[in-house]
């Protein structure tokens, strides 16, 4: 078997067999297939696509390229959630402790910021001492204490995805539905989750800009996951404006803590509670949507969700007292205010432009090895659909220096659109894909 023949076959639009896919995955992981041929294969898949059988085979073979975690000795159902990425999207930081408080075990392998989207691991590492590097034994220890763990992908888990993800990023093949599906699911299945909930973002701040494309990805994730024996459901949620009021690494951890104490913004809580409810339903902890929602709210009111958050912080090495001392106070040194240039109603806070603004402040990264700033970011005091008078404070900027602050103000001027016309923001939960 020759890799060039496999590339030609996919280039010409034919479906690849399990043997051909295994030959490619094994050869690429071992280094026998060079990156220039792997790049050609990726581009062929990008343009020609894959059918459902191929996508399922690719997912399984990528999953089997490394270590499969065995977490079966943990008490409680294993359930995970994955977001396709957005701006201000800190739902994982809230729903993981909340689901754990409800009886779930959540082994969450998360990612880092890239481009305009934030990364869960970078947010957590803004807290002094918090570590996201963990062995399988560490993972079990953390979950046994807190009910959930938030860790990075290890070198031993799905090495095929580690290599392929980096190559896709520099070969303009990121947006392929089969490749996205296999990348996401291979990691989630390797970590041992029995049920999965996907948050497929849709809008200006998402990778899927249209509802149609978001539906295609959601269907692919759900059908492929179900074909591999997991209970899977997806929610398509709006990402037209930043989720919540904070965009920034420590800022978003702080906002998540406030949410678990009952003080979260309405939009952030709506999406978080919807996703957490689905986690309880897919895992069998609750039988109906009302029961699941009530249980989530109860765990916030009782403080049990916040307790799990604290236990996880300590279990993963964070200095808890340092965190409490810095909530509400730890900000980058230069603070500037963005005020409404005119009277009217906020029609747009473009999530992509806000994400790029945050990137300029050091919240995210352009390249995988770029450093990020822990305490820079944005605090939004107004949201879409709200009335404002000229001069009203719309957003606070926390920057490292005056130049970054000035650039952020210019970016925010482009991100906001204020009009005299009335407007009602679209629903946050756009569609549910999959049946339990």
User: Which residue among 22, 60, 81, 82 is the active-site one?
Assistant: 82
The SS3 assignment for 246 reads strand
| Under 8 Å between Cβ of 193 and 107 | yes
User: Which residue among 80, 89, 161, 267 is the active-site one?
Assistant: 161
Task: Spell out the residues 6+ positions from residue 56 whose beta carbon is closer than 8 angstroms to its own.
Answer: 224, 227, 228
Please confirm, yes or no, whether 187 is among the known catalytic residues: yes
| Under 8 Å between Cβ of 275 and 81 | yes
Q: From the CB of residue 223, how many other CB atoms can be counted at a distance below 10 Å?
A: 17
Q: Which residues, listed in sequence order, are joined to residue 129 by a DSSP beta bridge?
A: none
Please confirm, yes or no, whether 283 is among the known catalytic residues: no
User: Which residue among 60, 140, 162, 168 is the active-site one?
Assistant: 168
The Cα 126–Cα 163 span in angstroms is 26
Long-range contacts of 44-48 (CB under 8 A, 24+ apart): 44/7, 44/10, 44/11, 45/10, 45/173, 45/176, 45/178, 45/179, 46/172, 46/173, 46/175, 46/176, 46/179, 48/10, 48/11, 48/12, 48/13
Please confirm, yes or no, whether 161 is among the known catalytic residues: yes
User: Which residue among 140, 187, 353, 379 is the active-site one?
Assistant: 187
User: Which residue among 65, 92, 110, 183 is the active-site one?
Assistant: 183
The Cα 171–Cα 166 span in angstroms is 9
Please confirm, yes or no, whether 133 is among the known catalytic residues: no
Please confirm, yes or no, whether 168 is among the known catalytic residues: yes
The Cα 106–Cα 92 span in angstroms is 10
Active site residues: 82, 161, 168, 183, 187
């Amino acid at each position: 078997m020759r890799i060039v023949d496999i590339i030609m076959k996919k280039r010409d639009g034919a479906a690849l067999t399990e043997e051909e896919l295994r030959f490619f995955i094994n050869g690429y992981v071992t280094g026998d297939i060079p990156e220039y041929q792997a790049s050609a294969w990726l581009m062929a898949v990008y343009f020609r696509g894959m059918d459902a059988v191929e996508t399922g085979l690719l997912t399984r073979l990528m999953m089997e390229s490394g270590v499969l975690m065995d977490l079966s000795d943990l008490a409680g159902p294993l359930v995970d959630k994955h977001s396709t990425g957005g701006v201000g999207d800190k739902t994982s930081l809230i729903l993981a402790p909340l689901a754990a408080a409800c009886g779930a075990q959540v082994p969450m392998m998360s990612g880092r910021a890239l481009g305009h989207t934030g990364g869960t691991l970078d947010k957590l590492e803004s807290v002094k001492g918090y570590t996201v590097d963990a062995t399988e034994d560490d993972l079990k220890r953390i979950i046994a204490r807190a009910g959930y763990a938030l860790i990075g992908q290890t070198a031993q888990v799905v090495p095929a995805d580690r290599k392929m993800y980096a190559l896709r990023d520099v070969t303009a093949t990121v947006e392929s539905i089969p490749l996205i599906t296999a990348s996401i699911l291979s990691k989630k299945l390797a970590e041992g989750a029995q049920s999965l909930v996907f948050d497929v973002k849709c809008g200006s701040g998402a990778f899927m800009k249209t509802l149609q494309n978001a539906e295609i990805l959601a269907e692919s994730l759900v059908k492929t996951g179900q074909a591999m024996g997991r209970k899977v459901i997806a929610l398509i949620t709006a990402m037209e404006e930043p989720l919540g009021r904070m965009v920034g690494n420590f800022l978003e951890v702080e906002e998540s803590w406030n949410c678990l104490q009952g003080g979260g913004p309405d939009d952030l809580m709506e999406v978080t509670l919807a996703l957490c409810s689905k986690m309880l339903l897919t895992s069998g902890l609750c039988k109906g949507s009302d029961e699941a929602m009530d249980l989530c709210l109860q765990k916030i009111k009782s403080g049990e969700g916040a307790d799990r958050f604290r236990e996880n912080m300590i279990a993963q090495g964070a200095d808890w007292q340092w965190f409490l001392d810095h909530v509400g106070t730890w900000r980058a040194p230069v603070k500037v205010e963005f005020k409404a240039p005119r009277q009217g109603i906020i029609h747009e806070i473009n999530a992509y432009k806000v994400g790029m603004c945050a990137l300029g402040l050091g919240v995210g990264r352009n390249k995988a090895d770029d450093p990020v700033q822990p305490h820079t970011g944005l605090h939004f005091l107004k949201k879409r659909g709200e009335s404002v008078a000229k001069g009203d404070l719309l957003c606070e900027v926390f920057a490292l220096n005056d130049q970054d602050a000035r650039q952020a103000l210019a970016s925010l001027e482009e991100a906001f659109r204020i009009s005299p016309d009335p407007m009602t923001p679209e629903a946050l939960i756009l569609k549910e894909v999959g049946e339990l």
